């Protein structure tokens, strides 16, 4: 990096931070330090924002030390950025310490701490702090109210969230689209889909608030998860009328909704019509193809994604490996699993191993699947062992079925699934007595048997 002056460093770092290139911002900061420049109050908030978004708590703590050595260690703007950084990095006690040590707390500082508590699952603490805030003469604004509503909605207390919505109106703070969207998002997050649709209707028809792209993209997963195609299409139509249909996140949510409702080619139409696509958009379409048996199309899209230079993440490879598994493309799956690590530097996660074990198991390569599990750098979970057990049953390998079932018994002692599968393998091997013992064990221990079902709302 060329030798430059402080103002130039400030401009470069602030621009990187504004553009969301947070890692670049921190790299520029380290280069700046190596040339003997110290960050000032104009650059610290941008650097702290970068630490919060990554997150990078160690660098954030170093910046905190710089603040303490500066001429203005209690600057309200910098202190609010420190509070936000510590909260987003999961260091809430450190954030509270900064808050308590801030001499002159303006509304931004109060809101940073209230929002921090709410975001980290401590809505009650956020509410108590807002009460203290009012008692000291600081009047809550829209940011304060929205943080509280979001916090309680996320924790599943939609009653309290709605009470806060009413309270803010009585204190001359009109709920905005973020207020309503926070409640809807919380309801969807806590699987209260019917209530989410009800609140959305109230928001539009009674409150007269125009939904944003965030509202639409938050509500569409509810349609996807219960396969409510009728409502999904209604919301798609509303998005088009409201002018949010071309939004990147709405488009990705629509692809996910249509594929989960079985309309793969409707999802493809949405995908093809998108002016801009991100990794999530591509992943949703690849998953949609793979889950509905269009494995060749999934791999073709994966290859197109690489050609177009789109960033591949761990979800991309999960989708592609899933397509290889369902499509019986073992050689391609092996190559993908290897290139994921060697070329793309994506560390395998449990879901990747589960896909590869399932792929090998379906192809009858049971020993290779078993060896892969043995080489895993982490403990295999129920999905990995379940894939091996299912493959062992299909191929009649009693020894590996017993091995997989023994691990599943430890991981899911209340579930009857592994016992039922193993009893089927035992019965197929002529060991009817042992199979009967397992079935009696399930009844005696009152293990949970989950009955499979599927549904789709068509009218």
How many independent structural domains does the chain possess?
2
User: Do residue 445 and residue 379 come from a single domain?
Assistant: yes
What pLDDT shows up at residue 107?
A: 95
Residue 418 lies in a domain: yes
Within this chain, do residues 343 and 377 fall inside the same structural domain, yes or no?
Answer: no
Q: Which of 305, 332, 347 is the last residue of a domain?
A: 347
| C-alpha span between 187 and 385 (Å, rounded) | 33
Scan for tokens 């630490």, then name that residue. Answer: 51
| Any domain includes 142 | no
Q: Are 95 and 113 in contact (CB under 8 A)?
A: yes
Between CA 427 and CA 433 the distance in angstroms is 8
Q: What angle do CA 106, 107, 109 make, to 5 degrees?
A: 70
In a domain, 317, yes or no: yes
Residue that terminates a domain, selected from 347, 381, 409: 347
Sign of CA dihedral 346, 350, 351, 356: positive
Distance CA 201, CA 302 (A): 38
Residue 337 lies in a domain: yes
Provide the pLDDT for residue 1.
45
What's the confidence (pLDDT) of residue 109? 96
Domain boundary among 314, 347, 380: 347
Tokens matching residue 351: 């879901």
Sign of CA dihedral 211, 214, 219, 220: positive
Determine, yes or no, domain membership for 405.
yes
Residue 321 lies in a domain: yes
In a domain, 434, yes or no: yes
CATH number for the domain that contains residue 440? 1.25.40
With CA atoms as reference, report the closest residue to 118 among 137, 139, 145, 141. Answer: 145
Q: Are residues 378 and 337 part of one domain?
A: no
Buried b (16+ CB within 10 A) or exposed e, 17-27: beeeebebbbe
> Any alpha helices (H) in 261-381, and if so which ranges?
264-273, 279-291, 295-307, 314-327, 330-342, 350-362, 366-375
- Per-block mean pLDDT, blocks of 10 residues, the chain (459 long): 72 88 90 85 89 93 90 87 96 97 93 97 97 94 97 96 93 93 97 95 93 95 94 93 90 96 96 94 97 97 96 96 96 97 95 97 95 95 89 86 80 65 63 63 56 57
For residue 325, what are the domain limits?
A: 277-347
Grouping H, G, I as helix, E, B as strand and the rest as coil, residue 39 is coil
The predicted pLDDT at position 457 comes to 60
Residue 330 lies in a domain: yes
CB 197 within 8 A of CB 231: yes
Asked whether residue 338 falls in the same domain as residue 376, the answer is no
Alpha carbon distance 148, 257 (integer Å): 30
Long-range CB contacts for residues 360-369, cutoff 8 Å, separation at least 24: 360/330, 360/391, 361/387, 361/388, 361/390, 361/391, 361/392, 361/394, 361/395, 362/325, 362/328, 362/391, 362/394, 363/328, 363/330, 364/391, 364/395, 365/330, 366/391, 366/392, 366/395, 366/397, 366/400
């Amino acid at each position: 990096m060329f030798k430059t002056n402080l103002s130039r460093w400030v401009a470069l770092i602030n621009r990187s931070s504004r553009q969301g290139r947070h890692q670049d911002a921190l790299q520029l900061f380290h280069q700046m330090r190596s040339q003997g420049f110290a960050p000032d109050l104009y650059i610290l908030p941008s650097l702290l924002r970068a630490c919060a978004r990554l997150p990078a708590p160690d660098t954030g703590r170093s910046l905190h030390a710089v603040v303490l050595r500066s001429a203005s260690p209690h600057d309200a703007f910098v202190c609010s950025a420190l509070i936000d950084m510590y909260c987003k990095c999961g260091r809430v006690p450190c954030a509270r310490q900064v808050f308590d040590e801030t001499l002159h707390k303006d509304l931004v500082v109060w809101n940073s701490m209230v929002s921090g508590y709410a975001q980290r699952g401590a809505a009650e603490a956020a509410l108590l702090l807002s009460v203290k805030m009012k008692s000291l003469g600081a009047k809550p604004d829209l940011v304060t109210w929205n943080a509280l509503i979001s916090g309680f909605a996320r924790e599943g207390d939609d009653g309290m969230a709605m009470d806060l919505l009413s309270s803010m109106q009585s204190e001359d703070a009109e709920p905005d689209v973020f207020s309503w969207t926070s409640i809807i998002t919380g309801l969807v997050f806590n699987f209260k889909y019917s209530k989410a649709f009800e609140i959305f209707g109230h928001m539009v028809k009674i409150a007269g608030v125009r939904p944003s792209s965030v509202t639409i993209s938050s509500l569409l997963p509810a349609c996807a998860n219960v396969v409510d195609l009728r409502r999904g299409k209604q919301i798609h139509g509303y998005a088009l009328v409201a002018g949010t249909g071309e939004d990147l996140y709405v488009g990705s949510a629509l692809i996910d909704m249509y594929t989960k409702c079985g309309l793969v080619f409707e999802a493809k139409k949405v995908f093809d019509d998108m002016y801009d696509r991100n990794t999530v958009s591509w992943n949703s379409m690849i998953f949609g193809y793979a889950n509905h048996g269009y494995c060749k199309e999934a791999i073709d899209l994966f290859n197109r994604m690489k050609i177009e230079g789109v960033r591949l993440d761990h979800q991309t490879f999960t989708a592609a490996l899933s397509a290889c598994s369902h499509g019986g493309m073992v050689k391609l799956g092996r190559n993908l699993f290897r290139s994921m690590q060697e070329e793309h530097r994506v560390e395998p996660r449990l879901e990747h191993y589960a896909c590869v074990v399932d792929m090998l198991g379906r192809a009858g390569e049971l020993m290779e699947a078993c060896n892969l599990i043995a080489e895993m750098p982490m403990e295999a979970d129920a999905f990995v062992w379940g894939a091996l057990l299912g493959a062992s049953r299909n191929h009649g390998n009693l020894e590996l079925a017993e091995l997989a079932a023994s691990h599943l018994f430890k991981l899911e002692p209340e579930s009857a699934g592994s016992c039922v599968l193993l009893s089927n393998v035992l019965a197929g091997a002529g060991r009817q007595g042992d199979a009967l013992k397992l079935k009696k064990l399930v009844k005696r221990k009152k293990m949970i048997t989950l009955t499979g079902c599927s549904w789709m709302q068509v009218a």
